[in-house]
Structure 1
């Protein structure tokens, strides 16, 4: 009987998540569904029966023993969601049926006698509506609006009067869930219509001010009239400029108390304090971008603009021209630190690791897979069905991080990719018969490829985690740089064991870390984080403490204050006195150090 079954394509109109995990066949006049995991065929019950089968819900269908745990959980959540919606619908029906034909709010519910299982809700209309004179033209006392003549050309009707707005709002408030979905769709369509009419990029909805704008409009009811062209270019613009200046003044006011860091990149110069980061200035040096002298003069001007006493450090890229300019700047201003960008240094470590022959070969094979899949829409859609919507490429902040994050993503969905290339759908596809398709089949089927991928992922994952930390703006990452690199080296040593093998990776890290390792501010950030400092073993304490003393001598010119700090650092270093209390020891792993490390 199975031989008479003809496969039927699952159309895009079927939105239930269970359709991704079954195949549809036509057997005569009947449609049957087949589980793609265990092969069980269901002759009835529809997609709901398949969902119960995958979720392992006892009752109408046998449990699938081969389905993946994440799929089982997804189906179970979908079933629970359907049940919740059904209960809400029943509750709403009960609430609606409880209303009398005439209730205290003036809302009438009238039965529909047209054979439909629905009711008509009549909302109250205010007895008198006061119209603005601009709404209807040439209207005299005692005359109807029908006799008022034609509407003036180009005139825009104003918002309804307050009586109408308040009455309708009160009436609709009696039914909070009646039209919520319809209202949301109406709002979304209106927003989309505006976006596409003026050509706004859709990622504008990710703006921090988008949802507050929606909330502000909704809070004023239905009578809101948007700002005009002249409003936007006049008083609104002036008020926003005033707000920005107040924010900048708050940041600049903190310079004298906490100091600040100057961030320099190819896009501009920013200033960062505890209160936040502000854009300071930009300069066009495209004619001399490779000149260290021009960069030095630019950095010098910026330091003088902010004020020498207010500048703690200047952070730049670790390229050669920035290194030369940064060292000249510290010679000119001995109290200012030049700090190479930790994120850029870690990215260069990943880049150098990617240049190793074994790693480079694995990355090339992984890229060939992703290129072939993403170059064919049919193959891409097939892959997304087998990975349940998970993309193959995982975008990072840099090219090197993207390569290794994508490699990790491929390891995580390895079994999904193998299921795809062994399926009938792939075998019958014309793309599998091309030379690139055979290469993809060989690579994904190779056990050595996956074992090497997993090894490379374990070696680079600590560096990727550290890169995410230093790229985050949620908290200062200065103390995490030392700890992260120490842990990355220890993870590599534990993974490879053989000294000759792990020293290859250690040398790459040390070569790029050389500038960061000797930096007093980074050492101080590590030293003042008790969770990291007290967990460090060996003679590294001595090296770090020496750099902390360099930091103190540079930032604290008063000898008396230096002596006081020295006494307290001795207690901190030995974990004695108040630092040795039980509650202080417990707090080492739970409390973050002061956020004023910048």
Structure 2
């Protein structure tokens, strides 16, 4: 029998000499021990009250060793219990036939459920008439303590294994890396002096019991979040894309104040062009979550099938609001501004400068000398923002660039006499370029700053986006000294995308229900705000009675009467989030309170903020594997994406500067910015 083939029968490796006194002889070395359980320890090399067998075959040693260690871990889990040791691993079943070894009904708890009592060899009990306490009447306590020590060490090792496994699930690293000698050395290099090596999980363990344990834990985490949807409501985030095979795929995420969770992935390729069927797919997701729980669907794009569904969604689905990701809409604004002829010309000239300098090592070293090591290319999480962030850097280094091209270092260089070098030097010395750059930045940097704010936000933004976009427009107006002829072209771009895609009734309702804005002196409740509030009430509140109560109680809120009186104070409305404010001051008006909390608990941004990798979903949606492998991949996808979301929900580490996009793509390579690349989602 080869090692790892499964359970092994101890009776095949020992001979019962005296049933009355429970004496058993080892078939390999002739040693006599008390009972078949001690024979297992003898054969498996478990030190305690019995010496290991030196003559037993290696495969026999390994099988008994694994069997005993498995029981010790199981026993320890039962003995310590979760309440006292919450971080210790649960019982695991590593082998499919393990339960077949637990068949004997003579197991007893005469010793109070001790580790010693549970480790009596039950296989030999029917034959040998063994009872607890008789097996090791002499020296049993010593063996028990040894087992306890080994069990604790095993449990801690398993906890380390679990942490290693979570690393694989979280990062998506291929399980085969667990077999790498370098990986094992890396893990064990972290151990302190004198500690034994960790038993790094195998590929089979990562795909087996460890994955199932992680699935169960993640299901509990998701379950807790689902319970919050009834009170705060939730948003469905669409993450759609077209893969290299031309398939139209989508991840469905569910977002709420407690965190975002991954629901499922779907291949909708066969439904493209059939908007009604695509709508029914989305209706199925809404139904699974609960139509009373869903406040809005946040689309990732305005084009492709997502855009097609969005055009008819509000007519087809009467109880949920359709919105488009705010960051995506702002990216569209930046793209469109970047295509204005004057702005595009400035960006092209800026690219000429960066391409020339970064294309030659000697010039790059010269740049670093004059800018004190600063780069002028700025990476970004989104392509539309990168040209303007880089242009901002170039303008900030204006004097250093001028000094560089006026220096003797430049004049004596090889490139100073080249046509390309002269063109760039003239460009840096051209004041019209710098004037144009200043205009481009005045029109775009306020939008870039809002994009950064939305991506970094650690609180729901629906109650702020309406006011924020007004502030952006006012900031641009101020940058141009209120000269209408200068700022109006940029306002028109912003208004077009706002009116067509970004503006939603719940944005207006959020603006009205946000006490920080509503009770301020510059609140402006025009017809658009009033209509958005009314539309949200009709769409999100099901029964007529509740709608009437909300409308009536809004008067109390508007005049800061009753329960709202204390909440209108400046420190109360500005120091706590809007949804929390309503939980404190809206208790006298439960229908209005629930309505306000559900709206103010939503984000206006989409799935792109979580930057989930699509490769695992693409693999999951590829057919042809057997049902067992498909289920395993489904479990892995569920764990992987929810681990990613769980980590990000706690930190909100959304930084506009990131490494997802290589700045050299647009600023070194010859693809011109006259063909700007959009972000991800046009599926």
Normalising by structure 1, what TM-score? 0.60
1:269 aligns with 2:269: no
SS class of match (2:261): strand
Check whether the contact 2:329–2:502 (CA below 8 A) recurs between aligned residues: no
Normalising by structure 2, what TM-score? 0.53
1:284 aligns with 2:284: no
Q: Could you tell me how far apart the structure 1 residues matched to 2:284 and 2:318 are?
A: 16
Tell me which of 316, 333, 341 is aligned to 1:349. Answer: 333
Q: Could you tell me how far apart the structure 1 residues matched to 2:219 and 2:577 are?
A: 32
Residue of structure 1 in register with 2:530 after alignment: 545
Tell me which of 533, 554, 560 is aligned to 2:518. Answer: 533
Q: CA deviation at 1:218?
A: 6.7
Q: Could you tell me how far apart the structure 1 residues matched to 2:352 and 2:293 are?
A: 51
For 1:164-179, list aligned pairs within 5 A. Answer: none
SS class of match (1:493): helix
Aligned length: 417
Over the aligned positions, Cα root-mean-square deviation in angstroms equals 4.4
Residue of structure 2 in register with 1:590 after alignment: 575
Check whether the contact 2:324–2:502 (CA below 8 A) recurs between aligned residues: no
Runs of at least 5 residues in structure 1 that lack an aligned partner in the other structure: 1-131, 142-147, 157-194, 206-210
Check whether the contact 1:459–1:492 (CA below 8 A) recurs between aligned residues: yes
Tell me which of 511, 519, 544 is aligned to 2:496. Answer: 511
Q: Could you tell me how far apart the structure 2 residues matched to 1:199 and 1:238 are?
A: 20
Query: Structure 1 pair 218/368, CA: closer, same or farther in 2 (3 Å)?
Result: farther
Check whether the contact 2:188–2:198 (CA below 8 A) recurs between aligned residues: no
Runs of at least 5 residues in structure 2 that lack an aligned partner in the other structure: 1-40, 63-172, 241-249, 581-596, 603-683
SS class of match (1:309): coil
Q: Could you tell me how far apart the structure 1 residues matched to 2:447 and 2:515 are?
A: 22
SS class of match (2:555): helix
For 1:296-315, list aligned pairs within 5 A. Answer: 296-315=279-298
Residue of structure 2 in register with 1:435 after alignment: 419
Q: With a CA cutoff of 8 Å and minimum separation of 6, indicate the structure with the bigger relative contact order.
A: 2
Q: CA deviation at 1:251?
A: 2.6
Q: Could you tell me how far apart the structure 1 residues matched to 2:552 and 2:190 are?
A: 55
Query: Structure 1 pair 389/234, CA: closer, same or farther in 2 (3 Å)?
Result: farther
Q: Could you tell me how far apart the structure 2 residues matched to 1:307 and 1:512 are?
A: 31
SS class of match (2:437): helix
Q: CA deviation at 1:490?
A: 0.9
Tell me which of 393, 402, 409 is aligned to 1:418. Answer: 402
Deviations 1:106-147 (A, max 9, x none): xxxxxxxxxxxxxxxxxxxxxxxxxx99999xxxx9xxxxxx
SS class of match (1:384): helix
Residue of structure 2 in register with 1:571 after alignment: 556
Q: Could you tell me how far apart the structure 1 residues matched to 2:459 and 2:369 are?
A: 38
Check whether the contact 1:261–1:313 (CA below 8 A) recurs between aligned residues: yes
Q: CA deviation at 1:589?
A: 3.4
Deviations 1:555-581 (A, max 9, x none): 223444334433442233345566555
Deviations 1:523-570 (A, max 9, x none): 122222233334474854443133112212222234443344334422
Check whether the contact 2:402–2:428 (CA below 8 A) recurs between aligned residues: yes
Tell me which of 242, 253, 258 is aligned to 2:216. Answer: 242
Residue of structure 1 in register with 2:3 after alignment: none
SS class of match (2:394): helix
Check whether the contact 1:343–1:467 (CA below 8 A) recurs between aligned residues: yes
Check whether the contact 2:336–2:493 (CA below 8 A) recurs between aligned residues: yes
1:501 aligns with 2:482: no
Q: CA deviation at 1:216?
A: 9.5
Q: CA deviation at 1:408?
A: 1.4
1:255 aligns with 2:239: no
Check whether the contact 1:578–1:584 (CA below 8 A) recurs between aligned residues: no
Residue of structure 1 in register with 2:82 after alignment: none
Q: Could you tell me how far apart the structure 1 residues matched to 2:302 and 2:188 are?
A: 43
Query: Structure 1 pair 580/381, CA: closer, same or farther in 2 (3 Å)?
Result: farther
Tell me which of 458, 463, 484 is aligned to 2:447. Answer: 463
Check whether the contact 1:479–1:526 (CA below 8 A) recurs between aligned residues: yes
For 1:28-107, list aligned pairs within 5 A. Answer: none
Tell me which of 541, 554, 557 is aligned to 2:539. Answer: 554
Q: Could you tell me how far apart the structure 2 residues matched to 1:291 and 1:370 are?
A: 46
Residue of structure 2 in register with 1:231 after alignment: 205
Query: Structure 1 pair 464/133, CA: closer, same or farther in 2 (3 Å)?
Result: farther
Tell me which of 432, 439, 464 is aligned to 1:448. Answer: 432
SS class of match (2:463): helix
Q: Could you tell me how far apart the structure 2 residues matched to 1:214 and 1:590 are?
A: 48
Check whether the contact 1:463–1:484 (CA below 8 A) recurs between aligned residues: no
Q: Could you tell me how far apart the structure 1 residues matched to 2:43 and 2:410 are?
A: 67
SS class of match (1:395): coil
1:477 aligns with 2:461: yes
